[in-house]
Amino acid sequence: MNWSDFFLVRYGSDILWRTGEHLVLVGISISIAILVGIPLGILITRQPRLRQPILGFANIMQTIPSLALFGFLIPVPGIGGIGSTPAIVALTLYSLLPIIRNTYTGIASIDPAIREVGKGMGMTDRQLLLQVEIPLALGFIFAGTRVATVIAIGLATIAAAIGAGGLGDFIFQGISTVDPQLILAGAVPAALMAIVADAILGAIENSLSFREGKRGKLLAWISGFQTNKPSWQIGILALPIVLSVLIVAIARPPVDRIVIGSKNFTEQLILGELLAQHLENKTGLKVDRKLNLSGTFICHQALQAGQIDAYVEYTGTAFTSILKQKPINDPQLVYQQVKQKYERQFNLEVTEPLGFNNTFAFIIRGEDAQRFNLKTISQAAKYTPQWQAGFGYEFIKREDGFSGLAKTYDLKFSQPPKVMDLGLTYQALADKKVDAIAGDSTNGLIEKLKLVVLQDDKKYFPPYEAVPIVRQQTLKKHPELRQAFNQLGRSISETEMRRMNYKVDVEAQKIEDVAREFLHLKGLDS
């Protein structure tokens, strides 16, 4: 075994950083869930009529698919968009049910005779709650917290889809690049984190739980609370508040920073990292990365909301998907209209194109292209009734996507297309799970998996020139950024972009290293 390929060696420092981000997400979410869930659990022991609606709401939150919940929160003012805030809200909502339910169960299951003893000793309801019921229910409460924490650790990996960071970044990148090492770099630490958290909280739970037949100890416990001194049992419930304050203080981002975003496939991750490194080199500004965002619309919305300052878009995508225009084939006209409309409608500046056109590509297996002598989409059309297509989520819905392509070429597949993550379509094609896909013409997996791009002989697809898009407010605040973006104009050829994708997809080089090497070769690293 080549130890340099072992994921802990390849991504050691990055794993530590992403693990820290993961812990912050989970720590804050669970702390908030505890601070909200325990009072709600106590409330429904005092107000039984509220039990059904409160537990019903918490149950509904857990039945919503996690990725859907993240998506629902994106447009919500104040807490929506991308980044850690909507992720924390979603994880908190998912964590409420076990905490509320166990708090209620723990208090409700206390022997009524114990309460009577407390009342007989002159305790008020408040004293009974704080000095008897909560301490006796702590074992149940920590059992609920234990379940909630393990759930949150797993779900936090999905939060990477909305730019919240954490170990999920490795998993999504690994899926996009078909790299098992990257997937392991995210999955293994997340699993270990869940195991460790479960063990620690399980030990605390066991230490706080009273066993049956300990009635004397229970009575002694009550007697011990007749002083006014706070006990460690009550103090332990304040721990989440302290942890939340510390975590937020440590995780607070720098005030003056530039945030670069990207979509969730190899080329976009490379371009996002390349932009970030270039801006750091040329301006000295702190640059944060919000890479691997789940698609065009999330990136665009994040840009408009000021949650990112720039990302690389493609002119054809902006023209058809964002501006809702009919596809046209003139690259210069598309660029000019996108530039003008983005400035007028969104206060966004479309900078100089990077130099390459990454058009959509209709792709089949090399063996099928050779067997049927296929070179164009028109030639392939007569075989589609026997084929199964597989497309990414966006391509199914886009103006320049499947419906228009099928109409232009009269494509009639045997079944409705399988819809999957764009990064998985290439491997699905190579594995004969599907027979045709719509991918990126510059993708490095095309060569690796011996796939063939068919010629768009009817020129259906519009031009897709890669262009950085920047918030005008950001350029006004940091005018030096405009020159830095202009330096990248026309600097990347299609061959160079395809080569960078190949280095990541096929040679398994790190994205940061590929971007750094390109900037060095172009003399842009100083």
DSSP characters over 64-87: S-HHHHHHHHTTSTTT-SSSHHHH
Distance of CA 338 to the CA centre of its chain: 28
Architecture category of domain 13-251 in CATH: Orthogonal Bundle (1.10)
Q: Give the amino acid at 435.
A: D
Distance of CA 157 to the CA centre of its chain: 7
Q: What is the pLDDT of residue 68?
A: 77
Instruction: Say how many C-beta atoms besides its own lie within 10 A of residue 28's C-beta.
Output: 23
Residue 260's DSSP bridge partners are 289, 310
**H-only helix segments in 381-419:** 393-397, 402-409
Collapsing DSSP to helix, strand or coil, 237 comes out as helix
Q: What is the pLDDT of residue 122?
A: 82
d(CA 67, CA 421): 13
The region, left, alpha or beta by phi > 0 then psi within -120 to 50, assigned to residue 3 is alpha
Q: What is the pLDDT of residue 10?
A: 64
Nearby residues of 229 by Cβ (< 8 Å), 6 or more positions away? none
Residue 363's DSSP bridge partners are 437, 453
Q: Are 266 and 177 in contact (CB under 8 A)?
A: yes
Residue 466's DSSP bridge partners are 314
Q: What is the pLDDT of residue 239?
A: 55
Architecture category of domain 258-357+464-521 in CATH: 3-Layer(aba) Sandwich (3.40)
**433 φ, ψ (degrees, to nearest 5):** -80, -30
- Give every strand in the sheet of 436-440, ordered side by side: 418-419, 389-391, 436-440, 360-365, 451-454
Q: For residue 332, which of 317, 312, 316 has the smallest C-alpha distance? A: 316
Q: What is the CA radius of gyration of the chain?
A: 28
The region, left, alpha or beta by phi > 0 then psi within -120 to 50, assigned to residue 61 is alpha
**H-only helix segments in 121-167:** 125-128, 134-155
Q: In the chain, which residues fall in CATH 1.10.3720.10?
A: 13-251
Q: Are 149 and 69 in contact (CB under 8 A)?
A: no
d(CA 78, CA 504): 37
Q: For residue 506, which of 179, 263, 171, 186 has the smallest C-alpha distance? A: 179
Whole-structure pTM value: 0.73
Q: What is the pLDDT along the chain (526 residues), one digit of tens a residue?
A: 444 455 566 666 788 888 988 999 999 999 999 999 999 999 999 999 999 999 999 999 888 887 778 777 777 776 767 778 888 999 999 999 999 999 999 999 888 888 888 788 888 888 888 888 888 888 888 899 999 999 999 999 988 888 888 898 888 877 766 678 888 888 999 999 999 999 988 887 777 665 444 444 544 444 454 444 444 444 555 555 555 555 544 444 445 689 999 998 889 999 999 999 999 999 989 999 988 887 888 899 889 988 899 999 999 999 998 999 988 889 999 999 999 999 999 999 999 999 999 988 999 999 999 999 999 999 999 999 999 999 988 888 887 889 999 999 999 998 999 998 887 899 999 999 999 999 888 888 888 899 999 999 998 988 999 999 999 999 999 999 999 999 999 999 988 999 999 999 888 888 999 999 999 999 988 7
End-to-end CA distance of the chain: 38
Q: In which element (H, E) is residue 372 found?
A: helix 366-372
- Tell me the fold of 360-454: D-Maltodextrin-Binding Protein; domain 2 (3.40.190)
CA angle 145, 98, 172 (to 5 degrees): 80
Residue 360's DSSP bridge partners are 440
Q: What is the pLDDT of residue 238?
A: 53
Q: What is the pLDDT of residue 209?
A: 61
Residue 56 burial (C-beta neighbours within 10 Å; 0-12, 13-18, 19+) = exposed
d(CA 285, CA 74): 28
Q: Are 33 and 92 in contact (CB under 8 A)?
A: yes
Q: What is the pLDDT of residue 226?
A: 45
Nearby residues of 135 by Cβ (< 8 Å), 6 or more positions away? 221, 225, 231, 233, 234
